[in-house]
Amino acid sequence: MDWSRAKSILIAALIVVNLILTGVYFNQQRDKVQEIKAKTESAIEYIESKGIDVVCAVPKKTESVRVVTLRFKEGAIPGGLARTVYEDLPIEVLGIRSSDYIEAIQETDIDIEVLPAYTALLKSLESVSGEIDDLELIYLVDRTAYSGAGQDTALPYWKVSSAGNSYYYAAFGE
């Protein structure tokens, strides 16, 4: 048996199989993106048919984000909303008035696949009337029950704004 020729045939066969599998993967990804775009457009049409205008950009793609933890200093003044930015995503902390009380922001090794933005739009139907002014992906920490020193986890949420009010919807599968 000619082992050199057998090895060459096997390598060629593996390359062909690899190319086929790569093509299938990219087709599935393209189909997923097209599906999210179509569902987003349908959700916007449905919401507008209910009398709510969507006057902001609605993201038509999904992404993965890391879960982050925040460590807080002692002495935070309770109440209010603190806002800062980490890795191009805003972090909102409910229950403290200033981001100065955030001692450290640390990224974990946990990735979360973010739900499409249209899920937040559809959930907001019960709360919003008139128009949706803004829709953004943020990290959210709720410290309203405890404002002292400690550590808390920030998870991705969709923030829907309407007429000066903000509504938060989990951007991760529960």
**Residue 135: predicted pLDDT:** 94
Contact 110, 66 (CB under 8 A): yes
- 10's CB contacts (< 8 A; 6+ apart) are none
What pLDDT is recorded for position 91?
Answer: 94
The per-residue pLDDT for 47 is: 92
- One DSSP character per residue, 63-125 reads -EEEEEEEEE-TTPPEEEEEEEEETTEEEEEEEES-GGGEEEEEEEEEEEEPPPHHHHHHHGG
Average pLDDT score over residue span 151-172: 92
What is the Cα–Cα distance from 43 to 131, expressed in whole angstroms? 14
At which residue do the structure tokens 């309407």 appear? 162
Cα–Cα distance between 71 and 56 in angstroms, integer?
33
- Provide the pLDDT for residue 15: 93
At residue 136, the pLDDT reads 94
pLDDT of residue 96 exceeding 90: no
Average pLDDT value for residue range 135-156: 88
Residue 144, pLDDT score? 85
Q: Is the pLDDT of residue 10 over 90?
A: yes
Arithmetic mean of pLDDT over the chain: 90
Question: Which residue has better confidence, 19 or 80?
Answer: 19
- Integer Cα distance of 58 and 163 in angstroms: 17
> What pLDDT does residue 147 have?
66
Q: Read off the pLDDT of each residue in 57-78 and give the average, rounded to a whole number.
A: 87
